[in-house]
A and B are shown apart, each in its own frame.
Chain A
Amino acid sequence: MTDKIKITGLWWKLLGFLLLLYAVIYGFIVEIPYLDVTKESLRNVFYHVGMWFGMFAMLATSFIFSLRYLRGFHEKEDIVAVEAVNVGILFGILGLITGMIWAKNTWGAFWVRDPKLDGAAVGMFIYLAYMVLRGSIDDIHKRAKVSAVFNIFAFILWIVFVMVLPRISGSTIHPGQDGAPIMALNLSSSTRVVFYPAMAGWILLGFWIMNLRVRMRKLRMKNEE
Chain B
Amino acid sequence: MLSMLIKEVKTLIGKDIKLELKQKYVLNGILLYLLSTIFVTYLAFEEVLTTETWNSLFWIILLFVGVNGIGKSFVQESPARYIYYYTIASPQAVVLSKILYNLLLMAILALLSFGMFLLLMGNRLVNLELFLLALLLGSFGLSSILTMVAAIASRASNNFSLMAVLSFPIILPLLLTLMKLSRLALTGSDWSGTAGPLVILLTINFAVIILAYLLFPYLWRD
Contacts and interface: CB of A to CB of B under 8 A. Distances in A.
Interface of A: 70, 118, 122, 125-126, 129, 132-133, 136-138, 142, 145-146, 148-150, 152-154, 156-158, 160-161, 164-165, 167-169
Nearest to B177: A168
A129 B169 contact: yes
B4 to A, nearest CB: 25
A137 B180 contact: no
A210 B152 CA distance: 26
A168 B215 CA distance: 29
B207 A137 contact: no
Given A125-B168, A137-B156, 14 more contacts: A125-B169, A126-B169, A133-B162, A136-B158, A136-B162, A137-B155, A145-B219, A146-B155, A153-B215, A154-B169, A161-B172, A167-B196, A167-B200, A168-B197
> Which of A153, A158, A161: most chain B Cβ within 10 A?
A153
B156 A152 contact: no
Q: Which range contains the number of B residues in contact with the other chain?
A: 20 to 34
A132 B152 CA distance: 12
B157 A137 contact: yes
Interface of B: 145, 148, 152-153, 155-158, 162, 165-166, 168-170, 172-173, 176-177, 180, 196-197, 200, 203-204, 207-208, 211, 215, 218-219, 222
Contact of A146 (B158, B172, B203, B219): B219
A161 B177 CA distance: 10
